[in-house]
Amino acid sequence: MARYSSRHGHLARRLFQLYAGLALYGASSALLVRSGLGLEPWNVLHQGLSERTGLSMGVVLTILGAAVLLLWIPLRQRPGLGTVSNVLVIGAAMDATLTVVPDAHGLAVRVPLLAAGIVLNGAATGLYIAARFGAGPRDGLMTGLHQRTGVSIRVVRTAIEITVVVTGFVLGGTVGVGTLLYAVAIGPLAQLFLRAFAVPSASDGSTVVATGRPRRAILRP
């Protein structure tokens, strides 16, 4: 009975981390939007598509996430609970936050919003990755292309992010100092929070901690 209770509590913690992390990711991304100082690469594309289609960023994020997930089929990637939840939760959390947080005016407000968005995004990344329920759709695209082509993760990731940033910028997405700061800070922040939120193993109480720079740290929302 004690063993069952321990495993039940372990699963409950992992589920809490998964959904708290995904919700926080969407909320933190909304703060970056409101700062107006630059977005993370994929959200540059989401914002650009939102400007062109009239759909909210959250809806665009969800639709594009589902479309990317379809690309997993030829790449032979297997989605997990975290993958599907990623598609459904982040966009909704982003739109909900955008409805209550107004546009910022003046650097005295915009800079703190940017800083809070980046730090909270790192915390969100640590939460959901440490829960170990599967990669996000865009992470799976990256690893799938790596496995199918033999090209390194670094090259595949760089190529994808350059493509989405350039495309998003052309469509009207915001690229700025925040985009650069995010790229520099998110790896160390995600690694820090991965250690902080590492979930002990259900069997022996040991803690799984990521080492090195996390390859999937930049959330592919």
In this predicted model, what pLDDT tens digit does every residue of 2-16 receive, in sequence order?
555 567 778 999 999
Is 172 a member of any domain? yes
- Interacting residues of 131 by C-beta distance below 8 A, sequence separation 6+: 14, 15, 17, 18, 21, 82, 199
Is 178 a member of any domain? yes
Residue 200: strand, helix, or coil: strand
The Cβ-side half-sphere exposure at 78, using a 13 Å CA radius, reads 1
Tokens 């998003």 correspond to what residue? 168
Tell me the pLDDT tens digit for each residue of 173-193.
999 999 999 999 998 999 899
What sign does the CA torsion over 49, 51, 54, 60 have? positive
Structure tokens at 96: 């909900």
The model's pTM: 0.86
pLDDT band at 214 (very low <50, low <70, confident <90, very high): very low
Q: Which of the residue ranges 15-24, 40-49, 188-197 would you say has the lowest mean pLDDT?
A: 188-197
> What average pLDDT score do residues 38-52 get?
96
Is 208 a member of any domain? no
The DSSP H or E segment spanning 9 is helix 2-35
Is 89 a member of any domain? yes
Is 2 a member of any domain? no
Is 123 a member of any domain? yes
Is it the case that residue 172 has pLDDT exceeding 90? yes
Is 121 a member of any domain? yes
Tell me the pLDDT tens digit for each residue of 63-112.
999 999 999 989 888 899 999 999 999 999 999 999 999 999 999 999 99
Q: How many distinct structural domains can be found in the chain?
A: 1
> What average pLDDT score do residues 164-168 get?
96
The DSSP H or E segment spanning 193 is helix 177-196
Distance CA 49, CA 64 (A): 10
Q: What is the pLDDT of residue 80?
A: 92
Residue 207: strand, helix, or coil: strand
Is it the case that residue 198 has pLDDT exceeding 60? yes
Work out the percent of the chain whose per-residue pLDDT is above 90: 67
Is 192 a member of any domain? yes
Q: Which range marks the domain in which residue 119 is found? A: 9-197
Is it the case that residue 213 has pLDDT exceeding 80? no
